[in-house]
Amino acid sequence: MIQLIPAIDIIDGKCVRLSQGDYSRQKTYNDNPLEVAKSFQDHGITRLHLVDLDGAKAQHIVNHKVLENIATHTNLTIDFGGGLKTDDDLRIAFESGASMITGGSIAVKNPNQFLSWLNQYGSDKIILGADAKDKKIAVTGWLENTDCQLLDFLADYIGKGVSQVICTDIAKDGMLQGPSTALYQEILAAHPTLWLIASGGVSNMNDIIELDAAGVPAVIFGKAIYEGNITLKEIEQSIVNCR
C-alpha cells in the first residue's frame, strides 16, 4: 500500500496552502499547526511533510519552532523542508525534531553542499526535492525556473546515492485536478528501486488509489484534506484496510 503523507505548509506560523506555488494565492486553514498534526496522528498517520514556506522565500530556516512544537507533542516522523541552505540550517532542523530533511533549491544551486549532507547524514535522512514545471526544475519556493531537465537531474543524483525523492509537478500543486501519474511512471520505469514520493494535484482518494496501482511508493497531499475532498475518516479506513 502506498504510504500516505499529509502536508502542512507554514507561513507566519500558520497552516496554509498555495496554488501552483504562488505566494499571492495563499489560503490559511488553521492558526495552529500542532492541532492539525495531532488530528493526523489520531487517525493513523505516522509521517508528516512539513514545509517552511517563509524559509523557502528567505533562503534560511524560519519556522523551526513550529517543527519543534509538533515533534515534541506528537510521535510523527517529520520530513522538513524549505530554505535549508547551510550546515547550521540543517543542525537547527534536526535539533528541532526533524527525522529527515528535503533539499531542493540547494541541490541545484550548491550541489557540493547537498552531496556533503548526503554523505554525512545518509540517504535515509536526506531527501531530494525535485519540483518541476514542464519537466524543468524550479527553485527558491518555485519563484525561479531553471533550464535543468527533471529526468537528467534525477538520474544524476540517484547515481550519487540519493534513494528518496519528492517530485512535485508545480502545474498540478494545489489545483485539485489529479496527480501527474504518467510522469511518476516514467521516473519509476527508469529507476525502479527509487522511493518516489508523488506530490501535487491529489484531489480525492481515487487519485491515491491510481498512484498506488501505478506502483508509486508514497504520496504527499494537503489541499484535498483541508478542502474536505479527502476526510480523515477515509484516511483512517484506508490504513486499517491495509493492515
- Going by pLDDT thresholds of 50, 70 and 90, the confidence category of residue 25 is confident
> Is pLDDT at 144 greater than 80 in this prediction?
no
Average pLDDT of 98-103?
A: 97
Is the Cβ–Cβ distance between 80 and 100 less than 8 Å?
A: yes
User: What CA–CA distances, in Å, run from 114 to 77, 153, 203, 236?
Assistant: 22, 13, 32, 36
- 184: which 3 cell numbers? 511518476
CA contacts within 13 A on the Cβ side of 51: 25
- Going by pLDDT thresholds of 50, 70 and 90, the confidence category of residue 147 is confident
pLDDT at 133: 85
> Residues of the chain with pLDDT > 90: what percent?
78
- 44: which 3 cell numbers? 493513523
Count of helix runs (H) and strand runs (E) in the chain? 11, 12
pLDDT at 44: 96
> Is pLDDT at 157 greater than 80 in this prediction?
yes
> Is pLDDT at 113 greater than 70 in this prediction?
yes
Identify the residue with better confidence: 35 or 141.
35
Helix (H, G, I), strand (E, B) or coil at 164: strand
Average pLDDT of 32-51?
A: 97
CA distance 190 to 183: 11
- Give me the chain's average pLDDT, please: 92
In this structure, of 70-74, 167-171, 216-220, the range with the lowest mean pLDDT score is 167-171
Cβ-defined contacts of 205-210 (< 8 Å, 24+): 205/230, 205/234, 205/238, 207/178, 207/179, 208/2, 208/4, 208/238, 210/178, 210/179, 210/181
Nearest CA-CA partner of 101 in 63, 144, 51:
51
CA distance 165 to 102: 9
At position 128, the amino acid (one-letter code) is L
- Going by pLDDT thresholds of 50, 70 and 90, the confidence category of residue 173 is low
Q: What's this model's pTM, rounded to 2 decimal places?
A: 0.92
CA distance 169 to 111: 21
Q: Verify whether residue 9 is a known catalytic residue.
A: yes
> Is pLDDT at 142 greater than 70 in this prediction?
no
8-state DSSP, 177: S
- 148: which 3 cell numbers? 535543468
Q: How far is CA 212 from the centre of its chain?
A: 17
Sign of the torsion angle spanned by Cα atoms 9, 82, 46, 2:
positive
Average pLDDT of 166-187?
A: 86
> Is pLDDT at 141 greater than 60 in this prediction?
no
Helix (H, G, I), strand (E, B) or coil at 51: strand
pLDDT at 103: 95
Among 52, 54, 79, 131, the one annotated catalytic: 131
CA distance 10 to 50: 8
**Terminal Cα distance for the chain, rounded:** 9
CA distance 168 to 155: 16
Maximum pairwise Cα distance, the chain: 44
Average pLDDT of 221-234?
A: 94
pLDDT at 18: 79
- Going by pLDDT thresholds of 50, 70 and 90, the confidence category of residue 140 is low
- Going by pLDDT thresholds of 50, 70 and 90, the confidence category of residue 21 is low
pLDDT at 189: 97
